[in-house]
Amino acid sequence: MSSAFADIDVSLLKKYDRPGPRYTSYPTAPLFTPLFTPDDYRGEIAATNGPNASPELSLYFHFPFCDTLCYFCGCTMVVTRDRRRIEEYNAYLQKEMALVAPLIAPHRRVTQIHWGGGTPTHLSPDQIVSIARVIRSSFSVSPDAEASVEVDPRELDRRHMEALREAGFNRMSMGIQDFDAHVQAAVNRIQPEEVSHQVYTWARELGFASINVDLMYGLPFQTLASFEKTIRSIIAYAPDRIAVFNYAHVPWLKPHMKLIRPDELPSPGLKLDMLKMTIETLTASGYEYIGMDHFAKPGDELARARAERTLYRNFQGYSTRAGADLYGFGMSAISHFQNVYAQNTKNIPEYYKALDAGRLATHVGYRMTDDDHLRKFVIMRLMCDLELDFDVVEKKFGVSFRDRFASALEMLKPLAADGLVEMPGRSIRIVGPGRLLLRNIAMCFDAYLERLTREKPIFSRTV
């Protein structure tokens, strides 16, 4: 695996550094529209829950509250230390489940649960156990469901971790970002290494099956040496997965990012050097590059899913459960099944108001066309399998690949000339540095990108 990244050409990466979507969905979220109403969403749930509905369900719960604001944060969150607000929010989650669960066919089983945020572990241990109990009594959760939770090590004691296990969680993702004290101070996230290490040790002792660690490069004051030190410390922990995100400085979308001074950020050139070092160090230490920002040990289910071509992308990034219908709960949560995307309001009072009125809190949504399904399949398989066989697409969708994607194939030609893709006969293979530029390759197949980006910047940069 490491040979694929030997001698990464940083200047080539620089050439392709431009704004673009991360393709956790296709079409992308800016296409979602308020013309899609709560009644539309309710109707779609009911219509897709006949006896022939796919049996698997995936549930996402959004817990928005955080103890403090990390200046780099790109999530939808609210800072509070008022525990009553969490209690109140959980009561509304319960109301939302009470509206949705009766619409779901009883034979359908939950095979995947994810708690994200915000900070799910800002809940007290009792609150964790109690809301998990409501989830399990509202839906039929499979005993071997993959249940994962995002954990902030700064706020934890061992009781939180025990509560998570009691609540059925078997996978967790720890936010760390960087161990360097100077960097931590600049982004308002003070997290001594001992704290992270303690939580990691508890997670292992308590038998979490898979542990992911989130790191971030491109933060203020990071140097190549300081970030390499963080990477090497994490490798010594031996987590099953490591995600290394590129800090996207988008203050026009997230005004709190103005708290980060641009002159303290590493230069684009240094960021690329950090990316190169990260990839080389992780792959040389036995981690496999999954795609985008994700690395996994060869035995981890993410790496296995990639080898078996069952990898999938959803709003949490890469996932192993393709085919499950996703229902999101909580403010800002996104649902996706069959032809539909539906997103709840990001405004907590509006979320409460809708549920008090007995309505779902859908704020925007989207109905996919046949062309969207085709393009979603192409983008998904390229980003997960790193190759695409035209025959597979033609058989599945009854189209001529070359006719339908003539302009995309034209757009790929310069990328092929730069050695990012190969197009032997009737297939596309992503090779060499192309594996780090998956977004750029996917962008060639996006029918809406030009229209979406014509007027204002809405996406982060691709490198």
Interface residues with ligand SF4 (CB under 6 A) are: 66, 69-70, 73, 75, 77, 117-119, 152, 175
Q: How far is the CB of 215 from ligand SF4 (least distance, A)?
A: 12
CB of 179 to ligand SF4, least distance (A): 16
Least Å distance between CB 273 and ligand SF4? Answer: 24
CB 148 within 8 A of CB 115: yes
What is the smallest separation between the CB atom of 152 and ligand SF4, expressed in angstroms?
A: 5
Pick the closer one to ligand SF4 by CB: 75 or 411.
Answer: 75
Return the DSSP state at 140: -
Rounded Cα distance, 177 and 17, in Å: 22
Nearest distance, CB of residue 70 and ligand SF4, angstroms: 3
| Residue with smaller CB distance to ligand SF4, 69 or 322 | 69
Helix/strand/coil for 60: strand
Nearer Cβ to ligand SF4 (152/301):
152
> Given the complex with ligand SF4, which of 73 and 147 has the nearer CB atom?
73
Residue closer to ligand SF4 by CB (options 193, 387) is: 193
Min dist. Cβ of residue 454 to ligand SF4 (A): 30
CA distance 148 to 128: 13
Least distance (Å) from ligand SF4 to the CB of residue 190?
Answer: 11
In the complex with ligand SF4, which residue's Cβ is closer, 155 or 264?
155
Q: Which is nearer to ligand SF4, 62 or 404 (CB)?
A: 62
C-alpha 263/C-alpha 93 separation (Å) is 42
CA angle 68, 72, 78 (to 5 degrees): 40
Q: How far apart are CA 39 and CA 56, in angstroms?
A: 23
3-state class (DSSP) for residue 1: coil
Contacts of 1 (CB under 8 A, 6+ apart): 283, 288, 289
The answer to whether 172 and 149 have CB atoms below 8 angstroms apart is yes
- If the CB atoms of residues 119 and 335 are measured against ligand SF4, the closer one turns out to be 119
Q: How far is CA 244 from CA 155, 279, 399, in A?
A: 22, 9, 37
Minimum Å distance from CB 65 to ligand SF4?
8
Give, in order, the Cα–Cα distances in Å from 457 to each of 30, 365, 449, 454: 11, 21, 11, 8
318-336 b/e (C-beta count within 10 Å ≥ 16 → b):
bbbbeebbbbbbbbbbbbb
